[in-house]
Amino acid sequence: MGKESLSRLLQSWETHASKADDLTEMPISLYKSDIIRITALSHIYKLPEHEVIASLLHEALNELEATMPYIEGDKVIRVEDGEEIYEDIGPMPKYLEAQKDLLEAAG
């Protein structure tokens, strides 16, 4: 085992530890068919079921945010390279505001 592989191992452990510190438990209800799929993933990848669920949910939320539609409003909010940029009146601004409020409330 070389120095580089030990360095990658340590980095992997650090990443895992920082993610584990950020996890919070919460009760959820799942469809039986989804529990079977999660358990199967848990078995083949040798991961705890809660890690599979957390990873899947995290990635789904990232993808959902990336696909939230931009709906152009009437108000110009800035000009970039001579092009007017209009406010987004779609769900993203409300979603980001709700996140901000929840983070502030959590302290």
- Looking at the structure, do residues 60 and 88 belong to the same domain, yes or no? no
Cβ atoms 71, 89 nearer than 8 A: yes
Q: Which domain holds residue 59?
A: 24-67
- Looking at the structure, do residues 55 and 87 belong to the same domain, yes or no? no
Indicate left, alpha or beta for 85 from its phi (over 0: left) and psi (-120 to 50: alpha): beta
Give tens-digit pLDDT for 96-107: 999 999 999 988
**Tokens standing for residue 85:** 């940029």
- Looking at the structure, do residues 83 and 106 belong to the same domain, yes or no? yes
pLDDT at 60 (0 to 100)? 95
Give tens-digit pLDDT for 22-61: 788 899 999 999 999 999 999 999 999 998 999 999 899 9
Question: Would you say residue 84 has pLDDT above 90?
Answer: yes
pTM: 0.73
- Looking at the structure, do residues 40 and 75 belong to the same domain, yes or no? no
| CA-based nearest residue to 51, from 14, 13, 12, 25 | 25
Amino acid at 105: A
> Rg for the chain (alpha carbons), in Å?
20
